[in-house]
Amino acid sequence: MHEDNLNKKKEVEQILGDYKYGFVTDAKAYKQVEVGLNEKIVTEISRAKGEPEWMLEYRLKSLKAFYEAKDPTYGPAERIKEVDPNKMCLYIKSTDKVENKWEDVPENIKDTFNKLGIMEAEQKWLSGVSTQFESEVVYHNNQKELEEKGVIFLDTDTGLKKYPEIFKKFFGSVVPYNDNKYAALNSAVWSGGSFIYVPKGVKLEKPVQSYFRINSSNMGQFERTLIIVDDGGFINYVEGCTAPKYSEDSLHSGVIEIIVGKNARCRYSTIQNWSTNIINLVTQRALVDEGGYMEWIDGNIGSGTNMKYPCCVLKGDRAKGLVLSIALGSEGQYQDNGAKMIHLGKNTSSTTISKSIVRKGGVVNFRGTTRISKDATGSKASVTCDTLIMDSNSKSDAYPYNIVSNNSSSYLRYQIVNYSIL
């Protein structure tokens, strides 16, 4: 039995492998702000983007909220205290504009994304692709399918300029600027990300993808993604990310807001594969209307410190939510992952599945919240958490937090199991 366990351990070690994306690109900045965080820098970022006055006001009140907010007190809280945006560069623009022809992208940046396999994926499987290098999207292209069906898929900066009414209506409606400390920071200095609108009844067969690359050390990347899937629509969105290995930490703090209309569906898949010098603090939340379905497929195998809890707010009756969270934690890594399911509508249902592996002294935690409100009668929720602990130096804990506020939502199942290979 012991020999079988050792063989299984070696097999898993081979699968996990070494980090293959730590190369550095020799790229000069087209524009960047000085190190630090203050009103002057926030204003400079907004002016450089040519934003409307309301967005600058939004950024400035977000900056104030960031300084007034308290640090997280749970999970890797001690590591988070070391994050100091005042010592980082928070905006680096690598090119003068977003290109929609691959041949027009600078050669060194093209080489980076070719090594990552992004262009091959675009040609074979995607209906649209967006690539962000540092703080701005450098390449974006849509296939004819998107245009023919009236789907809007742009980088977020361009979305603000081209569709200001839609943008202003939904921006900050799911994740307010003062939701938490790092959502406030993102709201103050956000740059890049994806803006998507799927019209009523439109269903995309092929996925769209955005890819985020940090290249510099001691910087912050703050993409902002806003996805609106109108009634009866469907989209499959895929996100990936990598960064070089440096001795200094960098910060990635994204905000993702998703609105799922009546009987609509959205699948959001993430492969978080940052290098271990990246601190990853992300707020992901979807508001799901009547009969809608939100799926978060959340893979976390990178970053040194990770806090990410995809959330479904099941607002409408019969709305459904799924979070499938997969985490790998190794030496020096602290993965604090999970899900939040908020049931507001009647007969809503949620499923949370967490699968993780921890090895070489790493830490992987599951942190989940399921809340069924008084009015969410007839609702049900399921939570399953399994962890494979590969040695005695590694650690994994589960922190389920559940509140059921009515008597008719009786089906609530929890299964938390840890397995060890020692």
Integer Cα distance of 65 and 188 in angstroms = 9
The percent of residues in the chain predicted with pLDDT above 90, rounded, is 72
Helix (H, G, I), strand (E, B) or coil at 41: helix
Mean pLDDT (whole number) for 2-19: 52
pLDDT at 350 over 50: yes
Q: Judge whether 60 and 178 are in contact, CB under 8 Å.
A: no
pLDDT tens, residue by residue, 163-182: 999 999 999 999 999 999 99
pLDDT at residue 123 tops 70: no
* Closest by Cα among 293, 355, 389 to 8: 389
DSSP state of 85: G
CA 356 vs. chain centroid, Å, equals: 18
pLDDT at 381: 95
| pLDDT, position 90 | 95
- Is the pTM for the entire model greater than 0.85? yes
Question: Quick check: 371 pLDDT over 80?
Answer: yes
The token pair that represents 192 in the structure block: 């890049």
Average pLDDT (53-80) is 95
Q: Which residue has the higher pLDDT, 22 or 146?
A: 146
Q: Encode pLDDT of 289-335 as tens digits.
A: 999 999 999 999 999 999 999 999 999 999 999 999 999 999 999 99
Q: Is the pLDDT confidence value at 91 over 50? A: yes
Mean pLDDT score, 47-65: 97
d(CA 288, CA 259): 6
Assess whether pLDDT exceeds 70 at residue 366: yes
Yes or no: say if 403 and 371 are a contact pair by the CB < 8 Å rule. Answer: yes
Mean pLDDT, residues 52-75:
96
Sign of the torsion angle spanned by Cα atoms 62, 68, 73, 76: positive
Q: What is the pLDDT of residue 12?
A: 46
pLDDT at 2 over 80: no
Assess whether pLDDT exceeds 60 at residue 14: no
Mean pLDDT score, 325-353: 96
Whether 167 contacts 159, CB under 8 Å: yes
What pLDDT is stored for residue 8 in this prediction? 47
Q: Looking at the predicted structure, is the pLDDT value of residue 342 above 50? A: yes
Rounded Cα–Cα distance for residues 208 and 203 (Å) = 12
- Write out pLDDT tens, residues 241-284: 888 878 788 999 999 999 999 999 999 999 999 999 999 999 99
Which of 71-75, 115-119, 193-197, 334-338 is least confident? Answer: 115-119
**Minimum mean pLDDT among 123-127, 143-147, 288-292, 375-379: which range?**
123-127
Cite the DSSP H helix spans in 150-267.
156-162, 164-170, 181-189
pLDDT of residue 85: 94
**Confidence band of 157 (pLDDT split at 50, 70, 90):** very high
Does 115 or 66 have the greater pLDDT score?
66
Q: Answer whether 319's CB lies under 8 Å from 290's CB.
A: yes
Please give the helix or strand (H or E) that residue 414 lies within, else none.
Answer: strand 412-420
Q: Which residue has the higher pLDDT, 142 or 42?
A: 42
DSSP string, 376-387: -TT-EEEEEEEE
Q: Are 372 and 383 in contact (CB under 8 A)?
A: no
